[in-house]
Amino acid sequence: MTGASSGIGAACALRLAKAGHRVVGVSRSGVAPEGVAGRVLDIREPEALERGLREIVGDLGGLDALVNSAGVAVGGPLEDTPIDLVRAQLETNLFGATCLIRAAVPYLRDGGGGRLVHVASLAVDVPLPFQALYCAAHAGLNGLCEALRYELGPVGVTVTVVSPGSVRTGLTANRRMAAAGSAYAGAAGKAMAANDRDEEAGIGAERIAAAVEKALGARVPPERVAVAHWHEKASGPLRRVLPERLFRRIIGSHYGI
Ligand SMILES: NC(=O)c1ccc[n+]([C@@H]2O[C@H](COP(=O)([O-])OP(=O)(O)OC[C@H]3O[C@@H](n4cnc5c(N)ncnc54)[C@H](OP(=O)(O)O)[C@@H]3O)[C@@H](O)[C@H]2O)c1
């Protein structure tokens, strides 16, 4: 379980441990909820990741499932975003998550029937204003998961993408913001304030944990699960029936732009 020190990952790790699973919780801090073995691992470092995973699998005697919820959030206009923040977003949610899945696949395959559960975001279906990098990272990983089903299905590994809407977690306070230049200052401020309000009024992380546990326990795990307030969940299907520009105006007006 990655991202187990906080938010969605912590809720998942706790719930799975309570249900009797042996859970190793991975994060940069190594903090983990009660009943979960915490471990320091930075998913942006491929060599350390492979070494750490090998040791974890050795300790556990195998790997039945990988639940990936490690992530960061960067907000603000793209042109104002310093390269270190561009790197932080893409290296964690896209590159790091890809390296992690790549390293875990042989173990999941060896177990015969391993399960990969990736915590993505509804932002894959409904891109968010002034969070272009965040959306790009999540969309990229979603594409990876979708394509992987062709290669992993025949070798017995299932892939479930769980897409939360707004969730009350540390992500809101931890978000790293690019200071908006004058071309975007008003719009970026309004959009990010609306985004923060949505997250603060979001669902509890336990709802995502319940969906992850259900997916892990299902005889045939779902390929995609959306967990969100109903109005957020409705935005994906709505997008499919509305003209693109109209849909973007509706979303834009929600974000005050
Ligand atoms: N909250 C929401 O509204 C929401 C909605 C949709 C999707 N999501 C997605 O859900 C995932 C989890 O978010 P959250 O809300 O639970 O955020 P969070 O409370 O900030 O938790 C993020 C977790 O990721 C870990 N992490 C960050 N960088 C890492 C790295 N390089 N290596 C290993 N672990 C790392 C953090 O631990 P350390 O700091 O100790 O490393 C922490 O445990 C993210 O991908 C996020 O985009 C969140």
- CATH number, residue 86: 3.40.50.720
Work out the average pLDDT over 12-28: 98
Hey, CA dihedral for 124, 71, 99, 148, is it positive or negative?
A: negative
Q: What tens digit of pLDDT does each residue of 37-65 get?
A: 999 999 999 999 999 999 999 999 999 99
Closest CA to 97 of 133, 150, 141: 141
In a domain, 162, yes or no: yes
In a domain, 199, yes or no: yes
Q: What tens digit of pLDDT does each residue of 69-112 get?
A: 999 999 999 999 999 999 999 999 999 999 999 999 999 999 88
Is 29 close to ligand 1, i.e. is its CB under 6 Å away?
Answer: yes
How many domains would you assign to the chain? 1
Is 8 close to ligand 1, i.e. is its CB under 6 Å away?
Answer: yes
pLDDT at position 111, please?
Answer: 82
Set 134, 150, 184, 255: catalytic member: 134
Distance 77 CA to ligand 1 centre (A): 21
In a domain, 190, yes or no: yes
In a domain, 210, yes or no: yes
Work out the average pLDDT over 5-15: 98
Length of the chain: 257
Q: What tens digit of pLDDT does each residue of 204-230 get?
A: 999 999 999 999 999 999 999 999 999
Q: What tens digit of pLDDT does each residue of 139-168 get?
A: 999 999 999 999 999 999 999 999 999 999
Is 25 close to ligand 1, i.e. is its CB under 6 Å away?
Answer: no
In a domain, 75, yes or no: yes
In a domain, 182, yes or no: yes
In a domain, 2, yes or no: no
Q: How far apart are CA 51 and CA 64, in angstroms?
A: 18
pLDDT at position 195, please?
Answer: 98
Is 202 close to ligand 1, i.e. is its CB under 6 Å away?
Answer: yes
Structure tokens, 133: 């990098």
Closest CA to 46 of 4, 106, 86, 103: 103
Which domain, by its residues, includes 192? 7-254
Distance 244 CA to ligand 1 centre (A): 30
pLDDT at position 112, please?
Answer: 84
In a domain, 108, yes or no: yes
